[in-house]
Amino acid sequence: MSDSVKTLCPYCGVGCGLEVSPPAQRNQATNRASDGTPIWKVRGDRAHPSSQGMVCVKGATVTESIGRDRLLHPMMRESLDQPFRQVSWDEAFTQIVDRIQTVKATYGADAICMYGSGQFATEDYYVAQKLMKGCLGTNNFDANSRLCMSSAVSGYIQSFGADGPPCCYDDLELTDCAFLIGTNTAECHPIVYNRLRKHHKQNRHVKLVVVDPRRTPTAEDADLHLAIKPGTDIDLLNGMAHLLLRWGYYDPEFIEDCTQGFSKFAKIIRLYPPSVVAQRCGISVKDLETAAHLWGKAKRVLSLWSMGINQSSEGTAKVRTLINLHLMTGQVGKPGAGPFSLTGQPNAMGGREAGGLSHLLPGYRSVLNPQHRAEVEHVWNVPSHQISPVPGRTAWDMITGLETGDVQMLWIAATNPAVSLPDLERTKAALRKSPFTVYQEAYYPTETAAFAHLLLPATQWSEKSGTMTNSERRVTLCPAFQRPRGDVKEDWAIFAEVGRRLGFEQQFAFTTSAEVHAEFVQLTRDRPCDMTGMSHDRLQREGPLQWPCPDSEPAPLGEAKPAAKRLYTDVRFHTPDGRARFGAYHSRGLAEPPDDQYPYVLTTGRLYGHWHTQTRTGRTDKIRQMHPNPFIEIHPRDAKKLGIENDGWVEVRSRRGFARFPAKVTKAIAPGTVFVPMHWGSLWADQAEANALTHPESCPDSLQPELKACAVQLILVSAELDSQNAFRRELSLSSPPIS
């Protein structure tokens, strides 16, 4: 028997298949983590249809960090200024259950919140929904997906009647025109990008358009790079629609038969002549026309987008304005075409399927819909009207709820909000006020641990079994292949134990994650994301499967069911009349535009090697060497004006806070805009937090904050300050003693 195991990369939403194996006996002495456990070898799984054997540096190095700085036991303290002491799981559960009961009796269930993550397995997500929404009767479950995918979710729902990206990765090799907007695919979805770049290189007729204020590695490869001013996407897209209409590049039959709302949209786009649009976006009329020509002439247009669109105070409007172009040109529901949202985290999709935002319920249902609530209550076997009809608190509303005292207990799991939420000074002050914070993590230390009263050690990828869904709706089983360390427990099992101790023995009688999965898929029956044909067993036997995958069409024995590659191939959408909806929007501009006092726009984002707040990649030598320090990108013209030289220190101030970075003077960024990576929290560098500067203003529909733009001023830092503020290059990761 081969000892290699097939699984999924636990980093990004591309969802590459991995094959892992223990190090050969003779290498075991050298290939060990700091806790002495062997480091498993990783290679790409050639049989995985999404990635075909490819992996990027993050996937290739993922096993290195698994054994470093782990949180191994539950830890407790009465207040944040005290040291933690080790406690038993029994004591930890007693604390949580007592606290839930007291808070519920005194303040009501809505004073309890859980903040989870797209890095949960679907099973973790599902049991958390059942605990919060089903048993406690509050919809106060939100996830870091609020900062990530919620605009894509609301855009798809409003335009198509349901969430769910309609495309698949094979479309990357079938398109004539790839339109990449607000996505640095080369660094953030590298294997999707590899597939696309290969197709682009091998076929001269295939065009690549990139819309990004920065000249990213993705933009470097483009036939056309539109370096628009941050926040001007709606102007650009309406301007392109204007030209498509003027030049007759549209599909009247599709518009007539399959859509609604075109005339209102057509009225709006008349107000977007090229000269006005080019000026607003800061591009040339010629480039705008080229973009419209490339889209109009192509037989198959595939658009890809990510955070440059979603993380905006008009994120939903941006998503819908992009979908409008697909609708007017009939570019959806066919090979090589469609609006394809690239998901960020490995299981951002599974979170949506399991109802993991404060307005959702499992199976792409909504808390606002009485029938949806009744269906879920039935399967959960809880009294009718147990599920609240009121959407719960979003991530940011949890922070403001701590400020006002309306939130009395916060349970955080698999996310590091003391780095990743906006307006960090305010966020941290609110976390400091929290009467009781539970933090369920795999590592110690992380920045958020400093704000916790109770730390719960979680198993992570490789130590637990569960499913994850990637951007193309493909579900992969990630089996446990390493022995869990210390006293760690699976996230779902922790939630289930709390449920049982609260008196819901029958609802949480699960003994394996396969049982959780089996119950969850029942709630997807006849829903857009039907997965009733899937089980852990079948995924283990047949490998990854795409949804929809109903059990009504049993697969021929030994043969995988034809995958549900694309949605809407019959051009019937999930709206009541089956028609997709045009949305007609004018841009409202940035929530905090630059002004005389704060004249620059700061945008934030990612680097190829690092993952978010570095809990894993900061503990991976190769990646730390690749990106040792934070920096700020600034255009030579702005740098000259301010007397800033390459590597010279710059202080960046916004209305909320400040940070300091060495300057990277580069033409890759447009004048007037600066860029800072999001990866450096307070553990990894002094005063280099991107989110010390950002604001929490959000899209009114998706409630997703505008993490991609805020107004800042730049100040040259004197040499003296410089030496005081050098980064902790030799950061000691040996955990501060917790006794």
Ligand X SMILES: Nc1nc2c(c(=O)[nH]1)N[C@H]1C(S)=C(S)[C@@H](COP(=O)(O)OP(=O)(O)OC[C@H]3O[C@@H](n4cnc5c(=O)[nH]c(N)nc54)[C@H](O)[C@@H]3O)O[C@H]1N2
Instruction: Say how far apart CA 231 and CA 221 lie, in whole Å.
Output: 23
Instruction: Say how far apart CA 168 and CA 473 lie, in whole Å.
Output: 8
Considering only residues 5, 20, 33, 55, which one is a binding residue for ligand SF4 as defined by CB under 6 A? 55
- Residue 59 interface partner, choices ligand SF4, ligand X, Mo ion, none, CB cut-off 5-8 Å depending on type: ligand SF4
From 95-103, 206-214, 507-515, 577-585, span contacting ligand X (CB under 6 A): 206-214
Told to check if 269 binds ligand SF4 by CB under 6 A, we report no
Told to check if 345 binds ligand X by CB under 6 A, we report yes
Told to check if 9 binds ligand SF4 by CB under 6 A, we report yes
Q: Which is nearer to Mo ion, 154 or 507 (CB)?
A: 154
Contacting ligand X within 484-513 (CB under 6 A) = 491
Instruction: Say how far apart CA 587 and CA 722 lie, in whole Å.
Output: 41
Q: Position 385: which residue type? A: H
Place of tokens 């800033």: 644
Told to check if 42 binds ligand SF4 by CB under 6 A, we report no
Q: How many CB atoms lie within 10 A of CB 687?
A: 17
Told to check if 33 binds ligand X by CB under 6 A, we report no
- Residue 670 interface partner, choices Mo ion, ligand SF4, ligand X, none, CB cut-off 5-8 Å depending on type: none
The continuous run of DSSP H or E covering 713 comes out as strand 710-716
CB 704 within 8 A of CB 591: no
Q: How many CB atoms lie within 10 A of CB 737?
A: 7
Buried b (16+ CB within 10 A) or exposed e, 132-145: bbbbbbbbbbbbbb
From 273-281, 519-527, 550-558, 686-694, span contacting ligand X (CB under 6 A): 686-694
* Total residues interacting with ligand X, rule: CB under 6 A: 57
Nearest by Cα to 298 from 260, 244, 254, 340? 244
Nearest by Cα to 179 from 240, 230, 248? 240
Contacting ligand SF4 within 706-725 (CB under 6 A) = none
- Residue 181 interface partner, choices ligand SF4, ligand X, Mo ion, none, CB cut-off 5-8 Å depending on type: ligand X
Nearest by Cα to 481 from 34, 125, 4? 4
- Residue 15 interface partner, choices ligand SF4, Mo ion, ligand X, none, CB cut-off 5-8 Å depending on type: ligand SF4
Contacting ligand SF4 within 145-204 (CB under 6 A) = 190-191
* Residue 203 C-beta: closest distance to ligand SF4, Å: 23
Quote the distance between the C-alpha of residue 103 and its chain's center.
Answer: 31
Considering only residues 5, 6, 14, 245, which one is a binding residue for ligand SF4 as defined by CB under 6 A? 14
* Residue 544 C-beta: closest distance to Mo ion, Å: 22
* Residue 344 C-beta: closest distance to Mo ion, Å: 3
Instruction: Say how far apart CA 711 and CA 673 lie, in whole Å.
Output: 9
Place of tokens 């591309």: 14
373: alpha, beta or left? (left if phi > 0; alpha if psi -120 to 50): alpha
The continuous run of DSSP H or E covering 676 comes out as strand 673-677
Contacting ligand SF4 within 432-471 (CB under 6 A) = none
Residues that bind Mo ion (CB under 5 A): 148, 344
From 6-14, 29-37, 415-423, 653-661, span contacting ligand SF4 (CB under 6 A): 6-14
From 213-221, 274-282, 284-292, 727-735, span contacting ligand X (CB under 6 A): 213-221
Instruction: Say how far apart CA 72 and CA 495 lie, in whole Å.
Output: 18
Q: Which is nearer to ligand X, 100 or 236 (CB)?
A: 236
The 3-class secondary structure across 270-334, one letter per residue, is CCCCHHHHHHHHCCCHHHHHHHHHHHHHCCCEEEEECHHHHCCCCHHHHHHHHHHHHHHCCCCCC
- Residue 710 interface partner, choices Mo ion, ligand SF4, ligand X, none, CB cut-off 5-8 Å depending on type: none
* Residue 342 C-beta: closest distance to ligand SF4, Å: 10
Told to check if 446 binds ligand X by CB under 6 A, we report yes
Q: Which is nearer to ligand SF4, 191 or 455 (CB)?
A: 191
The answer for residues whose C-beta is within 8 angstroms of residue 20's C-beta and 6 or more apart is 4, 5, 7, 40, 41, 42, 63, 462, 481
Told to check if 344 binds ligand SF4 by CB under 6 A, we report no
* Residue 316 C-beta: closest distance to ligand SF4, Å: 26
Considering only residues 196, 414, 498, 710, which one is a binding residue for ligand X as defined by CB under 6 A? 414
Instruction: Say how far apart CA 422 and CA 79 lie, in whole Å.
Output: 25
* Residue 50 C-beta: closest distance to ligand SF4, Å: 8
Considering only residues 5, 7, 12, 420, which one is a binding residue for ligand SF4 as defined by CB under 6 A? 12
Place of tokens 């195991």: 5
Q: Is the peptide bond between 548 and the residue preceding it cis, with omega within 30 degrees of 0?
A: yes
CB 481 within 8 A of CB 7: yes
- Residue 214 interface partner, choices ligand X, Mo ion, ligand SF4, none, CB cut-off 5-8 Å depending on type: ligand X
Q: Which is nearer to ligand SF4, 60 or 136 (CB)?
A: 60
The tokens describing 70, both together, are 């782990």
Told to check if 56 binds ligand SF4 by CB under 6 A, we report yes
Q: Which is nearer to ligand X, 148 or 349 (CB)?
A: 148
Told to check if 155 binds ligand X by CB under 6 A, we report no
Q: Which residues of this protein are in contact with ligand SF4, per CB under 6 A?
A: 9, 11-12, 14-16, 51, 55-56, 58-59, 190-191
Q: Which residues of this protein are in contact with ligand X, per CB under 6 A?
A: 12, 117, 119, 144, 147-148, 181-184, 187-188, 211-214, 216, 230-231, 233, 306-308, 311, 344-345, 413-417, 419-420, 440-443, 446, 458, 460, 491, 603-606, 608, 610-613, 615, 678, 690-691, 694, 707-708
